[in-house]
Structure 1
C-alpha cells in the first residue's frame, strides 16, 4: 500500500509541476495582453485628444466664416441701398441706356462663358464682338454718370464696397476650406481612436481569458498541493506504523533470543554443577546469562 501511495504521490508531484508551468505561462500571457491593452488605450486617448484639437480648430474657422459672412452681408446691404439711391437720382436726370453695373454684369457673364465652355468658332466670334460692344457701352455709361457728381460718387463707393465684399468672400472661402480640412482631420482621428479602442477591447478579452485560465490552473494547483499534504500525512503514518512494527518485531526477537539463551544457559549450568566439562563457548554463554 505504501509503495502504491508513493507512486501516486510521485505522479501528483509531476502534475503539480505541470500546473505551475501552465499557470505561469498564462499569467505571462495575461500580463502581455494587459500591457498591450493599456498601450492601445493610451494611443486611442491620444488620437481622441488630437481629434478634439482639430474640432476646436474647425469651430474657430467656422466662427470666422460666420463673422466674415455677416460682414459681407452688411456690405451687400449697403450696396443695395446705394443702388436704390442711384435709381432715385437717375429718375431725376436725363440718362440713356442701361446702368453701367448691369452692363458690367453682362460682360462678366460672357467672359465666364468664354473661359469655361467649349464654343464653336461662330459663337466664339459672337461672344468676343458682344463683349467688345458691351465694354464700349460700359465706358459710355460711365462717361454719362461722371457728368453727375452724385451718381459718380455713389458708383465709386459701390465699387469700393464690392471690392471689400469680394475680399470678404475670399476670406469666407479660405476659412471654410480650413474648417473643412480640420473637420476631415477630426473625423479621421476619431475613426482612428475607435479602431484602436476596438483593438484594445480585443486585447482585454484575451487578457480576461488568459487570466481565467491562469486562475483555473492555480485553483487546481492549490487542490493538488492539499492532496500532497494529505498523502504525506498518510505516508508518514504508514511509515511510523511500519517502523513501530519493526521495533516491536525486533524486541520480540530479542526477547525470544534472550529466553533461548537463558534456557540453554540453565541447561549448561546444570551440567556444570554436575561436574561435566564445558568448552569456552559454553562458559561465555553462562557469563552472558550471569550464571558464573
Structure 2
C-alpha cells in the first residue's frame, strides 16, 4: 500500500511540475503581449497627436484662405468699379466696337489658365499663344486711348494696382489652399495609422487576456496538485511511522523472548557472557 501511495505521489509531483512550468510559460507570454499592447497604444497616441497637429494647421490655413479671399475680392471689387467707370467713359468717347477692358482681361486670364492646365498640340498651343497676344495688344491699345485723359489715366493706374494686388493675394490663396490640402491628407493618413495601430493593440490585448486566463487556470491546477501532495505526504509519513513502530515492537518482542530464554538458562546454572548480560539489560530483566 505504501509503495502504491509513493507511486501516486510521484505522478502528482510530475503533474504539479508540468502545471508550474506551463503557468510560467503563459505568464511570460502574457507579459510579452502586454508589452506589445502598451507599445501599440503609445504609437496610437502619437499618431492621434500628429493627426491633431495637422488638423490645426489645416484649419489655420483654411482660415488664412478665407481671409485672403476676402482681401482679394475687395481689391477686385475696387478694380471692377474703376474699370466700369473706364468702360462708361470709353463708350461715351471712344470706339464702341471694341470690347471692354475688363471683359478682355477676363478672357486673357481664362486662356492663360487653359494653357497652363491643358495639353495641346504644338499648332494648337501656338494658336492659343497668338490669341492671348492679340487680346493683350487690344488691352494696351484701349488703355493707351484712355490714358489720354488725365482722370481716366489715374483711374486706370489705380485699377491696375488693385488688380495686381488681387493677383498677388490670389497666389497666396492658392499656396494656402494647397498647404491646407496637404495637412488634410496627412491628418487622414495619421488617423488611418492610428486606427490600424489601435486594432493591433486590441488584438494584443485579447491575446494577453487569453494567456493570462490560461496561466491562472494552470496555477489553480498547480495549487490543487500541491494540496494533493501535502495530503499524500501526511498519509505516507503516518504509514512510515506506523511501519517503523511495528518493526521496533517486533524486534523488542524477539529480544524479550531471547532474553527470557537466557535468563532461564542462567537460573539453570549456565554462565552468562557479556553479550548475554547486555541482552538482559535491553530486555530490562536485570
- Structure 2 length normalisation: TM-score? 0.84
- The answer for the alignment partner of 1:274 in structure 2 is none
Equivalent residues in 2 for 1:1-292 (5 A)? 1-87=1-87, 89-90=89-90, 93-97=92-96, 98=98, 99-109=100-110, 116=118, 118=120, 128=130, 134=135, 137-266=138-267, 268-269=268-269, 282-284=270-272
Q: Name the stretch that deviates more: 145-154 or 159-168.
A: 145-154
Task: Give the drift of 1:263.
Answer: 3.8
| Larger mean Cα displacement after TM superposition, 66-75 or 79-88 | 79-88
How far is the alpha carbon of 1:44 from its aligned partner?
A: 1.5
The question of whether the paired residues in 1 share the 8 Å contact of 2:266 and 2:272 is answered with no
Please, which moves more after superposition, 82-91 or 230-239? 82-91
Provide Cα deviations, 1:47-79, integer angstroms capped at 9, x if missing partner.
211111111211221111111111112212222
For the residues of structure 1 that align with 2:8 and 2:64, how far apart are their CA atoms?
83
Displacement of 1:138: 3.4
Does the 8 Å CA contact 2:29/2:208 hold for their aligned counterparts?
yes
What's the offset of the Cα at 1:9?
0.7
Query: What residue in structure 2 maps to residue 272 of structure 1?
Result: none
Kept in 1, the 8 Å contact 2:87–2:101? The answer is no
Shift of 1:88: 5.2
Aligned residues of 2:58 and 2:179 also touching (Cα < 8 A) = yes
Distance 1:48 1:211 in 2: 29
Shift in alpha-carbon separation, 1:174–1:224, aligned structure 2, 3 A: same
For 2:58 and 2:128, locate their aligned partners in 1 and report how far apart those are by CA, in whole Å.
47
Specify the structure having the higher radius of gyration (Cα): 1
Q: Distance in 2 between matches of 1:123 and 1:179?
A: 33
Unaligned ranges ≥5, structure 2: 282-286
CA RMSD, Structure 1 to Structure 2 (Å): 3.0
Q: Is the 8 A contact 1:38 1:200 kept in 2?
A: yes
Distance 1:51 1:175 in 2: 19
DSSP-derived class of the 1:138 partner: helix
C-alpha distance 140-43 of structure 1, shift in aligned 2 (>3 A):
closer
Matched-pair contact (CA < 8 Å) for 1:9–1:231: yes
* Contact in 2 for aligned 1:107/1:134 (Cα 8 Å): yes
Structure 2 counterpart SS, 1:284: coil
With over 3 angstroms needed to count, the CA separation of the structure-2 counterparts of 1:24 and 1:135, relative to structure 1, is closer
* Deviation string, structure 1 residues 66-114 (Cα, Å, up to 9, x no partner): 11111112212222332344455456x4222233333444455566667
Q: Is there any run of 5+ residues in structure 1 with no aligned partner, and where?
A: 270-281
TM-score, length-normalised on structure 1? 0.82
Farther-moved stretch of structure 1 (216-225 vs 240-249)? 240-249
User: Partner of 1:277 in structure 2?
Assistant: none
- Cα deviation, 1:131-183, whole Å, max 9, x if unaligned, reads 66655543442232122222221122111111111111110000000111111
Aligned partners of 1:187 and 1:165: how far apart in 2? Answer: 32
Check conservation: 1:114, 1:124, Cα contact below 8 A.
no
Write the distance in 1 (CA, Å) between the matches of 2:257 and 2:110: 140
